[in-house]
Amino acid sequence: MPIATDAWVRISAATSPSFSKDGRTLFHLRGAGLPQVWAMDADGSNPRQLSFHDEKVAFLRRCPADDRLIWGVDAGGDERQQFVLLAPGSEPLQITDAPDVIHDFGAWSVDGARIAFACNDRDERFHDICLMELATGARVRLLEGPGILTVPSWSPDGTRLAVIEDHSSTDQRLWILDVVTGAATLVQRPSPARYASVRWTGDGTALNGLTDQDAAFMRLCRIDPATGAATAIYAPEGRDVEAWSLSPDGKTLATIENDRGYAVLRVGELGTDRPAVGGLPVGIVADLSWSPDSVRLAFTAQGPGAPPGIWLWQAGIVRPLVRPDPLAEAGIDPATFIEPRLVEWTSFDGTRIPGWFALPHGPAPAGGFPSVVWVHGGPASQTRANFRADIQMLLSQGFAVLMPNIRGSTGYGRAYLEADEVGKRPDAMADLAAGRAWLAAQPSIDPERIGIMGQSYGGWVVLAAVTLQPELWKAAVNYYGIADFVTLLERTGPWRRDHRAREYGFPGTDDALFRRISPIHHVDRVVAPVLVLHGDRDPRVPMHESDQIVQALEQRQKQVRYERFTYAGHGFIRPDHRVRVYAAVADHFVTHL
């Protein structure tokens, strides 16, 4: 008997731990759907809620000097975050009040007197770097941005900021910004590179951070700001390092590396052969946070069968912190969860394409299981071994699931990441067709009942599949996908236009490609019934994309159902929205597969 679709919405999570200044408290985010700021004792006891927004809290940062907290909330998922400051013993105070402006938190000054952040209040096309004096609210605009900027770190002496310019999915530029003069200096590099988790060293002479400069994969490197030279600190063969944290005493290094979609946590003395940490859910680790005494490491861990929770490492031993049963309100038995397995297939040009495959519990019905191919967004993203309530819901409903990481996905090196750009985008669709053929050949699968589902860029893949590969797909679900690359680039958030065009192509230059790959031009070929879901506050893929594809399908009397959501952004966060989404998706696939 399938689990009721609304039960999946009530699964809770706990993430983003941060120790208090004295190490006795862990601030964190918890909840189902709209996580809020909480505090608990460092052993997991005495939980208390600190924020009470009717919105999702998007991030949480503690001041390095004391226990003041800053977090961010937007309005209905529109990504125009405002900052909220909470001082111990006080009520939360909203310190930005410009609901049409994106505020991207960057860094505290070491003394906690100021914050650095990016915002687009001057011109929504550009992110500027600003400072705010927290005592007075006074603001200074240091740098008028050339594009999308973030501020990952403030130097220990308070004189410089590290700034990352996000030029494209495969090209970030690293700048050093003088806090006094506003002068910006570009850190040299020999070729395009990515940068992430960049922080000043304790003495302020260099930067430590993740980069694929001079390499195929992301490595933890020491970066000389004067010359740009990147010296590897930790570089596992054939894997991205995706997170790192050095203990406050500078002696113990924690890293997370990406092993084909699984996370490997290593903790040990800096400069030694650090062991992998065992005893964790087989899945994903994130949000590394050291205690002030450098003894304990808090982090988030999850797996396909384990919702996100907070764990502690100490002296080589890991344990989960006590918390309420995340499945209690949902009433779901964890024994029903299914862990996908890694699979591969060969695409048209010999490229090996990875993916995850899961079958429902029990024997296959006569003729085989119906199945759904689920495609991630991005495209610079990766389906991982994390907890996905929607995937478990599909499995509960009796559908097998294949989750491909077609070319353009992260986690497999720079060449694979770049393999779908601009004119090479049809190659990714060939990867999808090869994956569908692999799935149809599995003895437990009914080759005549294969559907497809995807979100954002994955939604474009869905629409491209039913228009360009109509004979392959029996039913389709498109979450806020791209119907026309020309109208997307006209209407997406202005700050994103050039960034996305560097990935997809530019209007006027790549019009022939856009006509070839934009689903709106091939609607006549659609055979599969299509479910379309979209929110009216989506800043990335505006609702116009779904409006026009639905109108085109209806004009041609194709089978289409349109679920429009009020007060929803690029993703369905609110519990009442998710109840509708899960019910609609299950109904669509049960009816048509």
Residues 149-202 have pLDDT tens digits of 999 999 999 999 999 999 999 999 999 999 999 999 999 999 999 999 999 999
Q: Is residue 271 part of a domain?
A: no
Q: Is residue 521 part of a domain?
A: yes
The confidence score (pLDDT) of residue 33 equals: 84
Out of 52, 86, 120, pick the residue that ends a domain: 86
Out of 58, 86, 114, pick the residue that ends a domain: 86
Residue 1 has pLDDT above 80, yes or no: no
Average pLDDT of the residues of the chain: 97
Q: Is residue 303 part of a domain?
A: no
Domain that holds residue 503: 338-592
Residues 11-40 have pLDDT tens digits of 999 999 999 999 999 999 999 989 999 999
Q: What is the mean pLDDT of residues 101-123?
A: 98
Nearest partner of 162 among 94, 223, 80, 78, judged by Cα: 223
Q: Which whole-number Å values give the CA distances from 555 to 535, 550, 558, in the listed order?
A: 22, 9, 8
Q: Is residue 66 part of a domain?
A: yes
3-state secondary structure of 508: coil
- Specify the pTM: 0.96
**In what helix (H) or strand (E) does residue 555 lie, and over which residues does it extend?**
helix 544-555
Tally of CA atoms within 13 A in the half-sphere of 105 that contains its CB: 25
Q: Is residue 393 part of a domain?
A: yes
Residues 204-240 have pLDDT tens digits of 999 999 999 999 999 999 999 999 999 999 999 999 9
Q: Is residue 184 part of a domain?
A: no
Percent of the chain with pLDDT over 90: 98
Q: Is residue 170 part of a domain?
A: no
Out of 51, 86, 121, pick the residue that ends a domain: 86
Number of helices (H), then strands (E), in the chain: 9, 35
Nearest partner of 172 among 158, 162, 183, judged by Cα: 162
Q: What stretches of 382-495 adopt beta strand conformation (E)?
A: 400-404, 445-455, 476-479
The confidence score (pLDDT) of residue 6 equals: 94
Structural domains of the chain, count: 2
The confidence score (pLDDT) of residue 586 equals: 98
The Cβ of residue 310 has, within 10 Å, a number of other Cβ atoms equal to 25
Q: Where residue 2 falls among pLDDT bands split at 50, 70, 90?
A: confident
Domain at 507, CATH number:
3.40.50.1820
Task: For residues 593 and 16, give the distance between their C-alpha atoms in angstroms, rounded to a whole number.
Answer: 39
Percent of the chain with pLDDT over 70: 100
Q: Are 376 and 384 in contact (CB under 8 A)?
A: no
Q: Is residue 140 part of a domain?
A: no
Task: For residues 16 and 395, give the distance between their C-alpha atoms in angstroms, rounded to a whole number.
Answer: 28
Q: What is the mean pLDDT of residues 474-500?
A: 97
Residues 283-306 have pLDDT tens digits of 999 999 999 999 999 999 999 999
Task: For residues 96 and 139, give the distance between their C-alpha atoms in angstroms, rounded to a whole number.
Answer: 11
Residues 307-357 have pLDDT tens digits of 999 999 999 999 999 888 999 999 999 999 999 999 999 999 999 999 999
The confidence score (pLDDT) of residue 198 equals: 98
Q: What is the mean pLDDT of residues 112-134?
A: 98
